[in-house]
Structure 1
Amino acid sequence: MFDWLNQNVIWLVPAGPLAACLWITLFGQFTRRQAAHRSLVLGLFVSLLSALYLLFAVVPQTFVEHGHDDHAAAAVEHAEAGHADEPIAEAAEVPPADAHAAVASEEHHAPPRSVTFTVYQWFKVGTMDVPVTLRADAMSALMLVMVTSLSLLIAIFASSYMHGDPGYPRFFASMSLFVFSMCMLVLAGNFLLMFVFWEAVGLCSYLLIGFWFKKPSAAAAAKKAFVVNRIGDFGFILGVFLTWTTFGTLDFQQLFEDPTLINAMVHCWYR
């Protein structure tokens, strides 16, 4: 059971709010309208537990596994060099002026430890291969815990704050879609998938800000947020295009493993 959970927990995080969104959208008008929040609270609770398990049980395993692999590879290389009976020598001394850059370059050549799950192959055009891949490392797992925990608290508060509003199911359906989009934004395994859910987050922000669309102030605020987000979209899609033309891939893991990119970042940092 734990093996299955370790392999599939990553998609359970966005699955909770997505299931809540579908349930509220399809059945929210036919069931008790004032109970629409329950499916979202339940979905977010599942997502929070999955994110916590991902952070404390799954992601740390990648550090242990990679650490063992690196040590074993070093031992094999040392033995093949004809020094099986000798202890592995310490790293050669590096001049003090270059020590920090050399150490950083060596450390950064190893890609960040991560857990990945490929949902399906989105499309492939020529050399551009874009799958729908979920990727979680320590930073993104921590962000998922933050997103799901805060969203759960907001959903519980909103169940009282929005009580009696005629658009009660619509609000929680929009909020469910918003949390799902944020989780997918954090878990995106490539820049194109990240851009898609960046747009989805912007759309959900527009729907939530303009929830009371009959109020002129709410409608104006929603339009303002929509226009401001479009300015950011231009820079985002330009960056995606430049990344593709420069490195020939949009996949995060492949980019992290590219020594050209890593060396450029290291020398820029320690310059």
Structure 2
Amino acid sequence: MHAGHIMAGLGGASGGNGGVHAAGHGGEHAEAAGSVISHSQSRVDGTTDRAESVMQLMGKRDGEKADGQEATAGITRRRALWIGGGGAVAAGAAAFAGRDALAHWWWRLPGNAKPRTAGAVDHRGAQWIAASPENYRRADRPADYVIDRVVIHVVQGSYATALDVFRDPDHEAGAHYVVRKDGHVAQMIRELDVAFHAGNRGYNERSVGIEHEGFVDRPESFTDAMYASSARLTAEICRRYGFPADREHVVGHVEVPGTDHTDPGPHWNWDRYLRLVRAELRKPPVRARESPPVGKG
């Protein structure tokens, strides 16, 4: 079981400033290789399965005369109507599949994507430090994928190490945010985009990932400033996308289906954290999307 995401310390698995664990956060490649959810988008949505199941059912019913026997000469009017109806169902399923796929890709057509400002952040006060494009997938959330989760991570290393590896294209993983022990927040991937942080494609598409500096076995990692800052961030995300601050919608990486990580670990105080998040939600909302960049890394 992996405690976190980044094996900290010089002379790690890949050397340099904190060796990167081979498993990383579990990006697109890890998701497919681990068979948590298929890499094929149609398999994720189930659209291919729906269309194929109709076609298979039609073939089974209409192929009752097998082994080369003539199957068309004896078709009755009732049977022909069934076949026609089955064809309509199949066509409808295919149309549904196409519509579903279009919902995830229409924004790529010229003029459909949401406007983006270079260096803009979603969380007021965050510092923009861009992750490598290899560590996330450009998207148009929540128009193409509904966001209804926050996933809490612990770096298993320092804030600087997290920034380094998420800027490394070979890491193939990254989170939307990194929170330092003094409460400072870096945003590395826009919430619009799908970060490779959860090791599960479906969770990546529906969630925002928040990394926290520290180690799962060191309770002193989780400072008052970190809890307060992270809670403000999570409250903003809950409010922005309209989901509740509870343990179904705010989860640890360990709780993601198919994960082999244990973060945020036994010392993360969930009761305290959710109290802070809910207290923030009781405050008047602050407009945060497309805030001017605080700084660049």
Specify if TM > 0.5: no
Instruction: Specify the TM-score bucket, using the shorter chain as the normaliser.
Output: under 0.3
Structure that is richer in helix per residue: 1
TM-score for the superposition, normalised by structure 1: 0.26
Normalised to the residue count of structure 2, the TM-score between the two structures is 0.24
